[in-house]
Amino acid sequence: MKAVVVGAGIGGLSTALYLQKKGLQVTVLEKLDRPGGRARGFSHGEFSFDMGPSWYLMPEVFERFYREVGEELPRVKEVDPLFSLYTGKLNLDEKHGDFRKDSFPLSGEVKKYMDDTRFMYDLAMERFLFKEMKFSDFLDPMILRNLGRFPIFSSLDSFNRKYFTDDFSLKSMGFSSVFLGGSPFNTPAVYAMVNYAIFGKGVYYPEGGFAGMVQRLYDLCKRAGVEFKFNHEVSKVDVDESVVAVRSGDEREEGDVFIFNMDYHYADTLLPFEYTMRGESFWERKKLSPSAILAYLGVEGEVKAPHHTIVINGNWKVHFDSISQGKEPDPQNMSYYVSYRKATDDSLKGDDLVFLIPVSPGLLFPQYQNFVDLVVKDFMVKTGSKFQVKFQRVYRSINFEEDYNSYKGTAFGISHTLDQTGPFRLPMRNRKIPNLFYVGQYTQPGIGVPMVTISSMIVGEKVLNSLKK
């Protein structure tokens, strides 16, 4: 039996390896000239960059995946400190803290918070994350008996306020919502479990960065016998009750089962209308995750920063509101993130910094360079770093659209609001085409490398089960 995987991102690579190891013959088609999708890397002279993910969380997810495919885990290194948080005004540091694993005093409300988020984390891992949830799963007796500890209907911000009152703690426990494509004001409280993943389980860094992780997955796929075809953008799907083939230019790839690891909206545009999610009106109603201004900087000089730095200037709700309202961020109330891999990986030749500013999807930024210049200056002031920029590449919403066919240039797909969580996310199997499946950040469990890896295992089993019938 032949499986055709369209897209060689983390989801596509993981699914391809999983299915090949389970006895299928797998071919992967990829639009770009290399594997990895958003997780790929690039180099310029002495500088090298991970283009997308930078937080390696939930190590037991990867342990389970590699055990399933019979391969050794990638080597990882623990990141210390976990991250650094700055709050204040533009070009002024009001408060700063370095956070370490188990760094909170385990007493009083803080201990209760960590206990409760661990309960959420363990329950989700045991009962919900490794399957495609149904609405009835919300009625699980364990949830119903523990609604106070597994809150479904409140926001992350309101949940955090039950334990913390000071602004700095609220921000340190709320910024994780950005990983989920939302804000602490619209992300469901159950995702406080991500804070346990960070503070309880730790933050790690894979050998060679995420580009190294991609390369290892690709090498394992090749060794197992997976066939890859790069520079093959799928632009048409032949459907005759089931998918018969996908087309890339004049080439036609036939198969028995097809798994799309591509932008879900773009995949929809390739299908006859009767097999889609019912047209553009459906997608217009979806709540999208932010896009981003990403600045890849190769610098020379002194960088005084840990691997991960979060900067929250002014009123962060103003920034989140600008994203939901389709407006440019206000520089005085603008948050951003900085990755400095050399703080953990001393094998890197050059000092590479990646700045990420969350922005509204679909919004053009003619003056994007001004925003980059502002955050670089602010970062230097706050951290006391002194460096010169020797190389710069800026990646924007338009690039997400060009490279990934991303709907409105969203960086992560649909966000994790209550009505887009669990059984309310997009289906892993086309409801009318029995041999068409979907994997990645649009589906369950959701956004992030661990979640997409779980997605590959779930869809892998769905594919195998479908072929037994």
Per-residue confidence band for 105, with pLDDT thresholds at 50, 70 and 90: low
Tokens at 174, concatenated: 């709320």
Six token digits for residue 120: 């959420």
C-alpha dist (Å) from residue 460 to 26, 62, 204, 332 = 12, 15, 26, 46
DSSP for 241-296, please give it.
SEEEEEEETTEEEE-SEEEE-S-HHHHHHTS-GGGSSSSHHHHHTS-BPPEEEEEE
| Contact assessment for residue 449 and residue 328, using Cβ atoms and an 8 Å cutoff | no
Going from the C-alpha of 224 to that of each of 257, 407, 416, the distances in angstroms are: 19, 33, 35
pLDDT of residue 103: 66
| Mean pLDDT, residues 158-177 taken together | 94
**Structure token digits, residue 41:** 């890397």
Q: Which of 192, 170, 167, 168 is nearest to 179 (CA)?
A: 192
In sequence order, which ranges of 124-208 are alpha helices (DSSP H)?
141-145, 156-160, 167-174, 193-196
pLDDT band at 242 (very low <50, low <70, confident <90, very high): very high
Element (H, E) at 298: strand 291-302
Side chain identity at 161, as an amino acid letter?
R
Q: How many CB atoms lie within 10 A of CB 340?
A: 25
Euclidean distance between CA atoms 412 and 249, whole angstroms: 27
pLDDT tens digits, 364-404? 888 999 999 999 999 999 999 999 999 999 999 999 999 99
Tell me the helix, strand and coil percentages in the chain, rounded to 5: 40, 25, 35
Instruction: Take residue 344 and report the two structure tokens written for it.
Output: 């953990």
Residue 378 corresponds to which amino acid? Answer: D
Longest dimension (CA), the chain: 66
Cβ–Cβ < 8 Å for 10, 62: no
Q: Which residue has the tokens 């939930």?
A: 58
What's the pLDDT tens digit per position in 172-230? 999 999 888 999 999 999 999 999 999 999 999 999 999 999 999 999 999 999 999 99
CATH of domain 2-77+209-287+415-468: 3.50.50.60
What lies within 8 Å, CB to CB, of 237 at 6+ separation is: 243, 245, 246, 247, 258, 270, 271
- List pLDDT tens digits, range 394-448: 999 999 999 999 999 999 999 999 999 999 999 999 999 999 999 999 999 999 9
Contact 204, 56 (CB under 8 A): yes
pLDDT tens for residues 21-59? 999 999 999 999 999 999 999 999 999 999 999 999 999
For the chain, percent of residues with pLDDT exceeding 90: 88
Q: Within 13 Å, how many C-alpha atoms sit on residue 126's CB side? A: 9
pLDDT at 179: 82
Supply the mean pLDDT for the chain.
94
For the chain, domain boundaries: 2-77+209-287+415-468
